[in-house]
């Protein structure tokens, strides 16, 4: 996804609207693979502000991932704000100030800014590390692996780890 900013570079103070929609391949997120159920839709405005190209918009899509408790796949909508400041390479200062520019802004050359890297970063930063299919997800039985959302398992309850038996004895005495 790219925005042609050639007109903005010539006429400061001007803004242009943009809208894109693309189907993306699955995205690696740690050891998980996020599948895009719907195309990634990005809309917003790009404006020349001082020496910067400022891009503001919103990312919308729908993602399928695995629940962190029951391991079942689930789908959820993702709406993420997008705010990026691009600096043309010819505007980067020399020396230490130039390093500060490189740390603060996304540097670009040519007449277009490319959004893909910033879109991926915004989506990943907005995701919870371990998503849940629902807040009340009961997860899996630690002994037999039964999905407890689908029903109780036949594992005996009340069995205590022998290493913790001493603690239970203390609790009964108190």
pLDDT tens track for 49-68: 888 889 999 999 999 999 99
pLDDT greater than 70 at residue 97: no
Q: CB under 8 Å to 67, separation ≥6 — which residues?
A: 73, 74, 131, 132, 133, 137
* % residues pLDDT > 90 (the chain): 41
Alpha carbon 125 to its chain centroid, in Å, reads: 4
Q: What is the pLDDT of residue 131?
A: 86
Residue 168: the pLDDT is 80
Burial of 84-114, coded b for 16+ CB within 10 Å and e otherwise, reads bebbbeeebeeeeeeeebeeebbebeeeebe
Give the model's confidence band at 21: pLDDT under 50 very low, under 70 low, under 90 confident, else very high: very high
For tokens 């689930």, the residue is 74
pLDDT recorded at residue 79:
95
| pLDDT class of 148 with cuts at 50, 70, 90 | very high
pLDDT of residue 71 exceeding 80: yes
42, 17 contact by CB (below 8 A): no
pLDDT in tens, 107-131: 777 888 899 999 999 998 988 888 8
Q: What backbone torsions phi and psi does residue 44 show, to the nearest 5 degrees? A: 165, -155
What 3-state DSSP class applies to 95? helix
């Amino acid at each position: 996804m790219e925005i042609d900013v050639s007109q903005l570079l010539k006429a400061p103070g001007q803004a242009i609207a943009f809208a894109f929609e693309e189907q993306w391949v699955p995205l690696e997120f740690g050891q998980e693979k996020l599948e895009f159920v719907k195309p990634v839709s990005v809309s917003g405005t790009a404006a020349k502000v001082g020496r910067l190209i400022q891009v503001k918009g919103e990312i919308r899509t729908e993602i399928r991932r695995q629940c962190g408790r029951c391991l079942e796949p689930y789908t959820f909508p993702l709406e993420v704000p997008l705010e990026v400041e691009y600096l043309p390479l010819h505007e980067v200062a020399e020396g230490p100030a130039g390093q500060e520019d490189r740390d603060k802004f996304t540097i670009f050359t040519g007449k277009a800014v490319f959004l893909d890297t910033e879109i991926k970063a915004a989506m990943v930063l907005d995701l919870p590390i371990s998503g849940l299919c629902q807040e009340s997800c009961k997860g899996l039985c630690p002994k037999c692996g039964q999905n407890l959302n689908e029903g109780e398992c036949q594992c005996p309850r009340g069995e205590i780890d022998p290493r913790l038996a001493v603690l239970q004895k203390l609790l009964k005495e108190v």
